[in-house]
Amino acid sequence: MKTVEIPKDGWAGLKQHWTGDAVSGFLVFLLALPLSLGIAKASEFPPAMGVLTAMVGGLFVSFFAGSRLTIKGPAAGLITICAGAVMEMGGGLEGWHFALGAILVAAFIQIFLGWLRFGSLSDFFPHSVVHGMLAAIGLIIFSKQIHILLGIDPATLKGKEPLELFQMIPDSIVHEDVRVTLIGMISLLIIFGLPLLKGKVVKKVPAPIVVLLVTIPLAWLMDFKHTEPAFDMVKIGDFWGDVGFNASFGMIGTFVFWKYVLMFLFVNSLESLLTVKAIDSLDPWKRISNPNKDLMAVGAGNALSAALGGLPMISEVARSSANISFGARTRWSNFFHGFFLLIAMLLFIPVIEMIPNTALAALLIAVGYRLASPNEFFKTYKIGSEQLVIFVVTIIVTVSTDLLIGVAAGILMKFVFHVLNGVPFRSLFKAHYELSDQGDEYLIKIKESALFSNLLGFKKVFSKLDLSKKIVVDFSDAHLLDHSFMEYLHHIEDECTHAGGAVVSVGFDRFKPFSNHPLAARKFSIDHQNRIEIKLSPRQLELRKFAESQEWQFYPQRVRASLKYKDFPISHGNKIPYEENILIQYSDMAKMEAADITLLEGARQAQQELSITIIQVSEIDALIPDFALEPEGLWSKLFESISGRDIDFDNHPKFSEKYYLRGVHEANVRLFFSEPLIRFLENREEMHIECHRNRLLFYKKRNLLEPDEILYTVKFAEDFVSLILQPQPNIVTQE
């Protein structure tokens, strides 16, 4: 079978994939322009400096970055730090210049830390603390932007703490500017309502660009420029005249200067490194980034951006996730995103100045909501109640004081839980283990506890191993395994499998997990039964009854599935970590499996979790080319350059109009889709069908199927396989 070719890097990658990367870069540019303006304005920087930051991130950093598909630019997670630095260093232009000095110093330290290979330090920070920090930032963003959305003068909000801003909300509602608020509410309706609409063409259009397409004409019709105060409209001014060396070091000898150097360095590096790791998991080609090289590149970008007047940049998660979903192949998509921003600032500043600030406030409120949504609390609770406590403590302390104290409080709370669970102080920072190389396999005996705070020691051990071998990890002498270690073990299992090896865990039956989450922390329990007691959900009870009636085997347990669906089109830009409720049946034709898979789209805060029922057919005695078939929509032609050319059949216009068909080996695909098969697909309900390495996937919709729908899809698959088992034209083996 044909192996998917990994896109080349550098100039060869540009020559090979410039069309797809240019399209993706343009779509990301549409997303980045309004967000960059809004983030800069909320950060007390001139709005256009947010665009300058993204331009530097694309046109400069893309050449040196250690990651291929991340988009570099300003991030909402740094708004509170940037705004705090400007205000505490004098406010206005003076505060901006001093804040740039702090960013520039932090950038040079960042480059040095990357050179010292500090990129792995992000593993030290517990996930619940990082997510709590981001959720707190989301609340802080909301506390200010809700007043901007209501048309309140930003000057009245300066110097106010987040809690004070929350207390002011009722008064701002009473004194709202109705016309400004109307446009703000329409913007929110678009942002939150657009994803609810059906149709793939709608889902492919970035909500921020729709906001601009609607609100700019509305503001023009309502004559905002002459009837509303100046603070209600975006003001760019003499952008190119302002670009120059703007950093000032006049406060370098003060505590406040170095406080913000530390905060910029900490949050910027941590956020960027975590995003790189998350985007690697979504890379369709599973390329591994170099975190140290990326940290140095981001540091260099921050230095240039700060010198010219821009904000600090990171590998931004929402834009990077969108970049993958738009079909980016190489780092050139980041370059093109910066290039189109440059064109916008050269030619379209008058249009940009027609954007109402209430629309940008709505975009930032949406960002804040995603960072601190109820779903973030629920996802954290599912991992374990102790994780929720750490998460909430981090939020409360951060909102009440500042970010560094909040993160420190969250880490301290994590240590408290570990000590209460019996972890000795000697294990808090040192990894205890025994490693033996037994030739064809390694044996690692974990001693005492494996925690976020000693994870670097365990990472050092695994980094020395040949991952193509079998690795036995023995937990018989361990006491506590926390969530951060479980996440890392999950990552190592994936890496080993990709390298041709395997990880075998021994002694897990001695541990009692803190929750039902597969990666929850777990503690040794002498009373814990050496078996897994399964409590079936109503769906599982229904599926078990269905399995018994249809003589299928039924396995309700959740199991790992990342490799089972690897390289199927459904996994491109997504991640399928688990499957459950597996139904299996063998027939004379093939092996049939139905399963509920977990599909993760996007990364981190931009991530969405879907549950989809799929039918997989394997062990088919026929040669099938790799292909993807899905119902055709208006979006298909637009995204052909990204997903692949639509293979049409002139003699079957009904089929060609109904389905979007693509495949690497077009000649084989055309031979495979015989006359009977095409007629069959023309006269049946629409179905998604994919083939990879002679295995077929069928799914009716991006949701769970009821038993009668599963039965229909299985019958559809059986009829499809029956047709392809009939004598076929010769299909050339793909090599």
pLDDT by residue (tens digit) across 344-394? Answer: 999 999 999 999 999 999 988 988 888 888 988 988 888 889 999 999 999
Residues paired with 415 in a beta bridge: none
**What confidence score (pLDDT) does residue 735 get?**
45
- When the pLDDT of each residue in the chain is averaged and rounded to a whole number, the result is 88
DSSP-assigned letter for residue 507: S
**What confidence score (pLDDT) does residue 730 get?**
56
Write a three-state SS string for 94-153. HHHHHHHHHHHHHHHHHHHHHHCCCHHHHHHCCHHHHHHHHHHHHHHHHHHHHHHHCCCC
Average pLDDT over every residue of 230-254: 91
CA-CA distances (angstroms) from residue 430 to 130, 453, 583?
22, 8, 45
What are the tens digits of pLDDT across the range 301-323?
Answer: 999 999 999 999 999 888 888 88
**What confidence score (pLDDT) does residue 200 get?**
63
Q: Which residue has the higher pLDDT, 194 or 40?
A: 40
pLDDT band at 529 (very low <50, low <70, confident <90, very high): very low
Residue with tokens 């629309």: 359
Whether residue 718 contacts residue 589, with contact meaning beta carbons closer than 8 Å, is answered with yes
pLDDT band at 3 (very low <50, low <70, confident <90, very high): very low
CA-CA distances (angstroms) from residue 17 to 6, 242, 468?
11, 36, 31
Tokens encoding 179: 């016309």
Ordered structural domains, the chain, with CATH = 18-400 (no CATH), 426-524 (3.30.750.24), 538-724 (no CATH)
- Residue 191, helix vs strand vs coil: helix
What are the tens digits of pLDDT across the range 437-466?
Answer: 988 899 999 999 999 899 889 988 998 899
Residue with tokens 């039964």: 529
Most confident of 113-127, 129-143, 330-344: 330-344
Which pTM does this prediction carry? 0.74
For Cα atoms 673, 676, 679, give the angle at the middle one, nearest 5 degrees: 90
- Residue 523, helix vs strand vs coil: strand
DSSP-assigned letter for residue 243: -
pLDDT band at 708 (very low <50, low <70, confident <90, very high): very high
Most confident of 76-80, 271-275, 339-343, 427-431: 339-343
Whether residue 64 contacts residue 260, with contact meaning beta carbons closer than 8 Å, is answered with no
- Residue 688, helix vs strand vs coil: strand
Rg (Cα) of the chain, in Å, rounded?
A: 27
Could you tell me the end-to-end alpha-carbon distance of the chain, in angstroms, rounded to an integer? Answer: 5
Average pLDDT over every residue of 119-123: 72
**What confidence score (pLDDT) does residue 530 get?**
45
Q: Is the pLDDT of residue 687 over 80?
A: yes
Of the candidates 581, 573, 671, the one whose C-alpha atom is nearest the C-alpha of residue 625 is: 671
**What confidence score (pLDDT) does residue 180 get?**
94
Instruction: Locate the DSSP E strands across 557-607.
Output: 559-560, 574-586, 591-601
Tokens encoding 713: 């899809």
For residue 525, report the phi and psi dihedrals to the nearest 5 degrees: -140, 120
What are the tens digits of pLDDT across the range 548-591?
Answer: 998 898 988 877 777 788 888 888 878 888 899 999 998 888 89
Q: Is the pLDDT of residue 597 over 60?
A: yes
Q: Where are the alpha helices (DSSP H) in 44-90?
A: 48-59, 79-88
pLDDT band at 123 (very low <50, low <70, confident <90, very high): low
Cα separation, 240 vs 49, in Å, equals 10
Cα separation, 139 vs 162, in Å, equals 8
**What confidence score (pLDDT) does residue 12 get?**
92
Q: Which residue has the higher pLDDT, 494 or 369?
A: 369
Q: Where are the alpha helices (DSSP H) in 348-466?
A: 349-352, 357-371, 374-383, 385-400, 403-420, 455-463
Q: Which residue has the higher pLDDT, 535 or 315?
A: 315
Instruction: Locate the DSSP E strands across 352-495.
Output: 432-437, 441-450, 470-474, 478-481
CB atoms near residue 74 (< 10 Å): 32
